[in-house]
Structure formats: C-alpha cells, structure tokens
Structure 1
Amino acid sequence: MIYCCKEHVEMALNTVVVEHETAPVLLEVAMEKQLSTCCEYCRNTAVYMVGN
C-alpha cells in the first residue's frame, strides 16, 4: 500500500499498476490517521491510500 497526498495520487496509481499489473484500489485516509501518516513521495500529509 502507498500513502500519498493529492499531488502524488496519480504517481501512486501508476506505481501500483506497473508493480502489480492489476487495477489499483483508491481509498481516502481517515481524518484521525491523516495526522500521523505522510505521503511516501514528499512527506506531506497523506490523503489517499493506494493498493491492489
């Protein structure tokens, strides 16, 4: 799973497609968890979780 901000959501979706060759699942991160979860690309607050 990749946690990402709004700016990097497209990059995370592409990464899942390339690495797993399946359609990605996009979920919003709960407000409580947003405070402690960072984007894996830029370290801003994560808004989405992308997985397969």
Structure 2
Amino acid sequence: MIIICCKEHAELAIDIIVDEFETPPVVELLTENSELSTACEYCSNDGVYKVSNI
C-alpha cells in the first residue's frame, strides 16, 4: 500500500499503515522529480510524503 499525503496528513497515513499491516511504515520525502503535482489522498494540497509498507 502506498499513500501520498501532505504534511498535515502524514500522521494519519502512518497510523493507517501501522493499523493495517502492523509493521513500521516507510516514509519518503517526495522530490520535485519523482511525483510531480501529485495531490494528497486526504485533501487537495500537494503531496509531500510517500508512506508505504514496502
């Protein structure tokens, strides 16, 4: 599972990964080259973090 989120929703995304998979999440800062103009999955702000269980 991969969740793209803004700074405000990073904690929510981390909690969801921990609750669903019971493992520590991998949190990566998105760079301008990696995920251009990807929106947060919880609001309309730009995504800043990629939170995953991979």
Uncovered stretches (5+) of structure 1, i.e. residues with no partner: none
**1:30 offset after TM fit, Å?**
1.5
**1:35 offset after TM fit, Å?**
3.4
Amino acid aligned to 1:40: E
**1:34 offset after TM fit, Å?**
4.6
1:16 equivalent to 2:13? Answer no
CA distance in 2, matches of 1:33, 1:46: 11
The normalised TM-score by structure 2 is: 0.86
Q: Which has the higher helix share?
A: 1
The normalised TM-score by structure 1 is: 0.89
Uncovered stretches (5+) of structure 2, i.e. residues with no partner: none
Amino acid aligned to 1:18: D
Q: Percent identity?
A: 50
